Amino acid sequence: MKKAVIYTRTGDEGTTSLIGNTRVRKNHPRVESYGTLDELNAHLGLLNIVVGDCDTKAFIENIENRIMTLGSYLATDRECECAIGTEDIEVLERAIDRLEAELPPMHEFILPGGTEASARANVCRTVCRRAERAIVALQECSPIDCNALVYVNRLSDYLFLLQRKLAEGTEKKWQKSCE
């Protein structure tokens, strides 16, 4: 068997291949959207290293798999059905409902941090929001299954609540200086 070479030189001019072999510029909205999801997955991996709860770890790993699925959908150059379905969205919604029931009501904005896990979850949330913006930008030039955007939107909500839970009571309220 011939050894695969990691460098192909095909991207040296600033283009890359989508699934289906269409070549696009590396700053194309499609590449930006799945690239941002890839970055989110890297941060989710870092978060999962510091999360202690086995159920949360398993849930995050499930999310990582869904993000890979979504990324491959977005990296495809032809119209196809998104493998993210309403059941995936409902799983996130149930997790959001459980977290909301556990947490005290929030009346002020909170600052990121508290614990390492909470801070990492907050980074995941902000990268998730950027991925959402990238998918919206892609929608302007290409049809995208609405479940893709809904899933990422729910995921950012879940990550917000997860970072609150992982703060373990160390949340700091934003001290508004201009009222």
pLDDT-based confidence at residue 146 (cuts at 50, 70, 90): confident
Q: In the predicted model, what is the mean pLDDT of the chain?
A: 87
pLDDT (tens digit per residue) in 59-77: 999 999 999 999 988 888 7
Percent of the chain with pLDDT over 70: 84
Judged against a pLDDT cut of 80, whether residue 52 lies above it is answered with: yes
Number of Cβ atoms within 10 Å of the Cβ of 101: 7
Please give the pLDDT value at position 118.
96
For 25, the enclosing helix (H) or strand (E) is: strand 23-25
Instruction: Give the domain range for residue 165.
Output: 27-170
CATH number of the domain that residue 102 is part of: 1.20.1200.10
- What domain count does the chain have? 1
Specify if 76 maps to a domain: yes
Number of Cβ atoms within 10 Å of the Cβ of 155: 28
Q: Is 17 helix (H, G, I), strand (E, B) or coil?
A: strand
Helix axes 146-166, 86-102, angle to 10 degrees: 20
pLDDT (tens digit per residue) in 11-23: 556 666 655 667 6
Specify if 44 maps to a domain: yes
Please tell me the pTM assigned to this model.
0.88
Judged against a pLDDT cut of 70, whether residue 49 lies above it is answered with: yes
